[in-house]
Amino acid sequence: MQKSVLCVGVAVQDHIFRIDRMPDTAIKVFASDYRQVGGGPAANAAATVARLGGRVALWARVGEDATGAAIVAELNDYGVDTGVIRMIEGGRSSVSTVAVDSHGERLIIAFADANLDRDVSWLPIETIDAYDALLCDVRWPEASLHALSASRDRGIPSVLDADLTTTDAAETLFPLAAHAVFSEPALARLSGTNDPAAGLRAVAGQGAKYVSVTLGAEGFAYLNADGTFAHVPGFPVDAVDTLAAGDVFHGAYALAVAEGRNVHDAGRFASATAAIKCSRWGGRAGIPNRPDVEALLAAPILENGDDND
């Protein structure tokens, strides 16, 4: 049976440029390729759920401008329900310029209109019962707080994409989520340590039932119920573009949670999805479909299994 995910957060328009290497001084750089594609943590997660065969809706805000119209149109093409994306009169939609080098690493210059209306009273929070899981990012914290609180009250599994922000949104929101999935930098800032195991132990027991961290090419790690540290190895691929990989991971993880998978299996499914995305250039355009992910999961690869301490 098709499972459903509600994604809450931001939607962005990315302008992606392929370059040979990152400049070390202020010079003109000529790109070998260019792509305009939608982005943003919650929006990319929603596109991922749709590509993997789930039913998905996105609650977000964009400006009432041509960029906002393009963002919504592309999400519709992916099969995302955009009925609760609000176009804010007088607001400017979020945009990013992204440089991706020959190693797949990226430099992002992002703009978000600080005057974009943050009101959440219009969100149809009563409809959250229609979804099997909730995914929130930290870029629209007022809406994420609203949705996470409602999902907790109703017993709906929730996932927080706990990434770095210029505020303390991750620290405020993660206790409300059932699954808090941190980026390495966000976990380090919150816990005060760069060691993933120590960092997860430092934040465990503060509300979220499951705490975990994405480790880039190294995969994914989490704490078991008994406090032991478990590692899910990454899938080796030739990375050409890491843009949106974390967003894709979170979208796949949320769908896996909606499907009833445990943390280990959800992390492995999400790691495979993100790995394939990294092997394809173009940000969101590289999100794989379900058969591609299942094929990678079934392929024989060298893994050491879980590492527990």
Q: What's the pLDDT tens digit per position in 138-147?
A: 999 999 999 9
Confidence class of residue 301 from pLDDT cuts 50, 70 and 90?
low
Has residue 209 been placed in a domain?
yes
Q: What is the mean pLDDT of residues 104-117?
A: 87
Q: Could you report the per-residue pLDDT of 182-214, keeping only the tens digit for each?
A: 999 999 999 999 999 999 999 998 889 999 999
Confirm whether 303 is domain-assigned: no
> Does the residue 309 lie in any domain?
no
Residue 257 domain flag: yes
What mean pLDDT value characterizes the chain? 93
Is residue 236 situated within a structural domain? Answer: yes
State residue 34 phi and psi, 5-degree precision.
Answer: -150, 145
Provide the domain count of the chain: 1
Mean local confidence (pLDDT), 90-118: 90
pLDDT tops 50 at residue 308:
no
Strands ordered across the beta sheet of 106-111: 33-39, 12-18, 94-100, 106-111
pLDDT band at 303 (very low <50, low <70, confident <90, very high): very low
Q: What is the pLDDT of residue 306?
A: 46
Q: Which two tokens stand for residue 228?
A: 């032991």
In a domain, 171, yes or no: yes
Stated as kind and residue range, the H or E segment containing 4 is strand 4-8
DSSP 9-77: S--EEEEEEE-SS--SSS-----SEEEEEEE-HHHHHHHHHHHTT-EEEEEEEEESSHHHHHHHHHHHH
Show the domain range for 154.
Answer: 4-22+32-115+130-298
**Confidence grade of residue 105 (pLDDT, cut at 50, 70, 90):** confident
Per-residue pLDDT, 1: 79
pLDDT above 80: residue 272: yes
Please write the tens of the pLDDT for every residue from 228-263: 999 999 999 998 899 999 999 999 999 999 999 999
Four-residue CA torsion sign, 138, 306, 309, 195: negative
Percentage of residues in the chain having pLDDT higher than 70 = 97
CB 206 within 8 A of CB 174: yes
Q: What is the percent of the chain with per-residue pLDDT over 90, rounded to a whole number?
A: 86
| CA dihedral of 189, 193, 199, 205, whole degrees rounded to 10 | -70
Residue labelled with tokens 């260019």: 34
Classify residue 167: in a domain, yes or no.
yes
Cα(46)–Cα(76) distance, rounded to whole angstroms? Answer: 11
Residue 307 has pLDDT above 50, yes or no: no
Residue 124 lies in a domain: no
Q: What confidence tens digit (pLDDT) does each residue in 38-85 have?
A: 999 999 999 999 999 999 999 999 999 999 999 999 999 999 999 999
Question: Could you tell me if 163 and 41 are in contact, meaning their C-beta atoms sit under 8 angstroms apart?
Answer: yes
CATH code (residue 228): 3.40.1190.20
Q: Which helix (H) or strand (E) holds 186?
A: helix 184-191
Q: State the pTM of this model.
A: 0.93
The single residue listed with the structure tokens 């173009």 is: 282
Q: List the single range of 6-20, 36-50, 114-128 with lowest mean pLDDT.
A: 114-128
CA within 13 Å, CB half, 305: 2
